[in-house]
Amino acid sequence: MATVKDFSVQEKLISLITLQKIDSKLDEIRILKGELPMEVADLEDEVHGLKNRRTRIEDEINGINDFIEQKKQSIVESQELIAKYEKQSNNVKNSREYEAITKEIEMQHLEVKLAEKHIKDANEELHDKARKLENANKNTANKEAILSEKKSELEKIIVETEKEETHYNQLSSEARTNVDERLLSSYQRIRNNYRNGLAVVPVDRDACGGCFNAVPPQRQSEIKLSKKIIICENCGRILVDSDLNDSIETK
């Protein structure tokens, strides 16, 4: 059995054309999926971020509620002290004691007013946080609905193309074993350079099938003979005879 290095140039070209056609089939499947996989991944990240934001707001709301309860308790304690001091004021022995108790009562009234102000401010902040939480819930729900729709769409395409994609992936792996290692490296590098993934193209209407740059008649004759690997001088793609290219089909 001949090894890859013993293959003729024409056999190498046939292997390259076969590989290109198989990979182009895989490219078609990926195009069918479009940007869906990336969209799904981005949406998943966005939903995760929205949920984290919602959790942070909920934690802040809980913190504000705890603060309000503390201030309410502080008011209760101050009111109890006021009642205590007012009762004591009825039994004072001198003006000095009366002034001291009066100051304590005034101090506790100030504490009540300050706590009430803190509660008022906290309630305003609570209202703002509640509005933000409502918006966060709406945004999360909307994004989750879009994500669910995109996932369903992607899963449908995956189911429809999975068998075909597996088939062509297997053919691609097998075809690569029949291509010279250096040629395979060049092929992959050229494929990576172009969005359409075309590294091997036929001469069509006297022009390169990739960049449509004119191919001189003498060069076309050399390509038709398939005696050596010829590269497009303009785009760097591997040029092959159109008849040879059309004669190769992928199952």
Q: Per residue in 36-64, pLDDT tens?
A: 888 899 999 999 999 999 999 999 999 99
Tell me the two tokens of residue 39. 């969209």
At residue 83, the pLDDT reads 93
Strands 207-208 and 238-240: unpaired
Tell me the two tokens of residue 52. 């984290």
CB distance 43 to 149 below 8 Å: no
CB distance 197 to 191 below 8 Å: yes
Other Cβ atoms closer than 10 A to 160: 12
Q: Which ranges of the chain have pLDDT less than 50?
A: 1-4
At residue 3, the pLDDT reads 45
Which residues, 6 or more positions from 7, have their beta carbon under 8 angstroms from its beta carbon? 15, 178, 180
Tell me the two tokens of residue 227. 């005696």
What DSSP letter does each residue of the chain carry, written as one string? ---GGGS-HHHHHHHHHHHHHHHHHHHHHHHHHTTHHHHHHHHHHHHHHHHHHHHHHHHHHHHHHHHHHHHHHHHHHHHHHHHHHHHHHTT-SSHHHHHHHHHHHHHHHHHHHHHHHHHHHHHHHHHHHHHHHHHHHHHHHHHHHHHHHHHHHHHHHHHHHHHHHHHHHHHHHHHHTTS-HHHHHHHHHHHHHSTT---EEEEETTEETTT--B--HHHHHHHHHT-S-EE-TTT-PEEE-HHHHHH----
Q: What is the pTM of this model?
A: 0.56
Which residues, 6 or more positions from 137, have their beta carbon under 8 angstroms from its beta carbon? 54
214, amino acid identity: A
